[in-house]
Amino acid sequence: MFSDKLEKSLNQQVKLESAASALYLSMASWCEKKKLNGAASFYYAQSEEERQHMLKVFKYINEMGGHAKVASVDQVDLDFENIRQVVQRSLESEKMVTASVHQLCEVAREEKDYGTLNFLQFYVDEQREEEVLFGNILDRIELIGLEGQGLYYIDKELEALAKQKIKTEGISTGGK
């Protein structure tokens, strides 16, 4: 059993992971609408990955004798100017989740809950990977641009990333 403070913080993380999943689902829809099917597959996979992260924390709370709570999420972005804005918004979201994970680690350390601190190490590593991933995608966009073949190339890059995620992590892209 962990402290009320840590339980509340973990439930906040559940909400953040759920919001990230909803945001990525919205981005997948926007990409499909724009005929960026590779990007749509990538964002469907990202949405599912965030949902799995949420469930992992959710189940951990209950496993440790706490009470995991389903919280409503605020309205997510629905429309974007271009794929660059989608990726930039993704990076911002990941940075927000990273800050929350780091804060959770601080709470676990303060509470001397080393089991939870160990559990959170997965999220520390995952967030580093996600920030690097989205930073690299933004770098590619800046390098090749979004005009003509550049947009096509970025869509194909995101499709390849989705396929890699499906293969290595068993993440679904919603059937595409």
Q: What is the pLDDT along the chain (176 residues), one digit of tens a residue?
A: 789 999 999 999 999 999 999 999 999 999 999 999 999 999 999 999 999 999 999 999 999 999 999 988 888 888 999 999 999 999 999 999 999 999 999 999 999 999 999 999 999 999 999 999 999 999 999 999 998 899 999 999 999 999 988 888 777 655 44
- Cα Dmax for the chain: 56
Q: How many Cα atoms are found within 13 Å in the side-chain-facing hemisphere of 129?
A: 9
For 24, the 3-state DSSP assignment is helix
Where in the chain are the domains? Answer: 4-169
Considering the domain 4-169 in this protein, what is its CATH number?
1.20.1260.10
The whole-angstrom separation of Cα 12 and Cα 26 is 21
Per residue in 87-138, pLDDT (tens digit) is 999 999 999 999 999 999 999 999 999 999 999 999 999 999 999 999 999 9
pTM over 0.85: yes
